[in-house]
Amino acid sequence: MSVSFEPDHAASWYAATANPAPERSALEDEVSCDVCVVGAGFTGISAALHLAECGFSVVVLEAVKVGYGASGRNGGQIVNSYSRDLDVIEEKYGAETARALGDMAFEGNRIIRERVAKYAIDCDLRNGNLFAACNQKQLEGLREHQALWERYGYRELELLEGEAVTREVNSRRYTGGLVDHGGGHLHPLNLVLGQAAAVESLGGRIFEYSPVTGVTHGEPAVVHTAKGRVRAERVVMAGNAYLKGVLPEIEGKSMPCGTQIITTEPLGEERARALIPNGLAVEDCNYLLDYYRLTRDNRLLYGGGVNYGGSDPTDITAVIRPKMLTTFPELDDVKVDYAWSGTFLMTLNRLPQFGVVNGNVYYAQGYSGHGVTCTHLAGRLIAEVMTGREERFDAFAGLPQLPFPGGRLLRVPLSAIGAWYYQTRDKLGV
């Protein structure tokens, strides 16, 4: 199946401030390796780096450029755990599964920090994020959230009630918040570029402008591009929302969703700190949440909303700027310098999907908005399963992977109806 891609990164603040990276050629012949990784975003590059560190020969195939998809476009927030919290996992799938996933819920964060330190990656890593409650019901939910995470041994959380939240975010919109001192935020495109350079330093090969057209299953498997092919003992499918027409077995189990981000002109340090005094990343607790943070050059980066099916609005600024002004009406005179969109992959149960097809084609996808940390965990688990340690990978692979109700035709309108219901509940505070 032919899939069209834009020829370069989205015109984002991230692309404008990206660290220098080499021009990588397209694959134009046949090569062999131990593991072929499809997709050079966080999942693929994390897997490739873990595998290269374990001594595997690795080839990465990327349709456009390293970090082209969600990994180079997201809000840059290091948010622990999963899109579904551990109490829901325990209720639906049992205490044993919840404990297994809970023991890994904070590991992706640690992996990121290990990578940044080990490979000296310049990606504006800063500590701390805030979950902001828009009403009393959400604040009570954060109190329960704190108790839940502490049950799993995580004690980096601080609950702020009433006016105390304004010490971290100067907005009248919130009734309280929960600070995660162990979370943080960063420049995601520079993080993935830095890890890609680390892969190459260990002998891994990365080919850009090499979209995969198909996979011939077997031992070895053969991964095809327009002008080349890779013979590999194992394959990792890490295209996430941008993987289309290559592995139908997994594509019907999830839904691409679009989200949009704007970045203001530089505010100056004094004005920027008046908004978020201690520089935390912020996300609210609504079903369709807003998320924002300050950049290193004192801009406000603000994102929000979901477009089911992955379509983009005609005017991104017109959609996101009113959200920003609801939070910070004092920015009415501020210009928007960058506006872009990206696509993430959502699953029906909001939990990531891991698995194996035909014995040697592995996949990890569907982080449902919590991809920055969980992708890095996925890379480690893929390396573990390929070195004979299956337990942690299998804890995810054993979760149900259900198609959306209504199939491809009705999954978008049905999801939109569900979102409208939860948005209404958020507005009513019920």
Tens digits of residue pLDDT in 211-259: 999 999 999 999 999 999 999 999 999 999 888 888 888 887 888 888 9
In a domain, 326, yes or no: yes
Amino acid at 322: P
Residues paired with residue 179 on neighbouring β-strands, in sequence order = 130, 158
- Asked if 80 and 105 touch (Cβ cutoff 8 Å), the reply is yes
State the residue range of the domain holding 169.
126-185+255-347
Q: How many residues does the chain have?
A: 430
Strands 58-61 vs 30-38: parallel, antiparallel or unpaired: parallel
Rounded (to 5) percent helix, strand, coil in the chain: 35, 25, 40
Same domain membership, residue 213 and residue 175: no
Q: How many domains does the chain have?
A: 2
Which pLDDT score, from 0 to 100, does residue 32 have?
98
Q: Which two tokens stand for residue 225?
A: 């591009």
Same domain, yes or no, for 260 and 177? yes
Q: What is the pLDDT of residue 269?
A: 97
Place of tokens 């949009």: 260
Whether 272 and 340 map to the same domain: the answer is yes
pLDDT at 6 over 90: no
Peptide bond into 220 cis (omega under 30): yes
* Range list of H helices, 36-187: 42-53, 86-93, 95-102, 107-118, 136-151
Q: Is the peptide bond before 329 cis (omega within 30 degrees of 0)?
A: no
pLDDT exceeding 90 applies to what percent of the chain?
A: 81
The answer to whether residues 32 and 56 belong to one domain is yes
Residue 334: inside a domain:
yes
Residues paired with residue 329 on neighbouring β-strands, in sequence order: none
State residue 414's pLDDT score. 38
- What local confidence, expressed as pLDDT, does residue 1 receive? 39
Do residue 260 and residue 336 come from a single domain?
yes
pLDDT for 168 beyond 70 = yes
Assess contact for 395 and 94: CB atoms under 8 A: no
Q: Does residue 426 fall inside a structural domain? A: no
The CATH number of the domain holding residue 322 is 3.30.9.10
- Give yes or no: residues 143 and 36 share one domain: no
- Would you state the pLDDT for residue 310? 52
Query: Which pLDDT belongs to residue 412?
Result: 42
Residues 168 and 273 in one domain: yes
Q: Would you say residue 82 lies in a domain?
A: no
Does one domain contain both 152 and 298? yes
pLDDT at 308: 61
pLDDT band of residue 152 (cuts 50, 70, 90) is: very high
CB atoms within 10 A of CB 134: 20
Task: Judge contact between 234 and 347, C-beta under 8 A.
Answer: no
- Band the pLDDT of 410: cuts 50, 70, 90: very low
> What tens digit of pLDDT does each residue of 80-134 get?
999 998 999 999 999 999 999 999 999 999 999 999 999 999 999 999 999 999 9
* Average pLDDT over every residue of 133-148: 96
- Within a domain: residue 383? yes
What's the pLDDT tens digit per position in 342-392? 888 989 899 999 999 999 999 999 999 889 999 999 999 999 999 999 999
CB 170 within 8 A of CB 275: yes
Does some domain include residue 112? no
Calculate the average pLDDT of the chain: 91
Same domain, 34 and 174: no
Do 284 and 178 lie in a common domain? yes
pLDDT at position 210, please?
A: 97
Same-domain status, 141 and 267? yes
Lowest-confidence region among 144-158, 193-207, 395-409? 395-409
pLDDT of residue 425: 41
Torsion on CA atoms 399, 405, 406, 407, rounded to nearest 10: -10
Label residues 92-128 b or e (16+ Cβ within 10 Å = b).
ebeeebbebbbebbbbbbebbbebbeeeebebbbbbb
> What pLDDT score was predicted for residue 417?
33
Q: What is the band of 405 on the pLDDT scale with cuts at 50, 70, 90? A: low
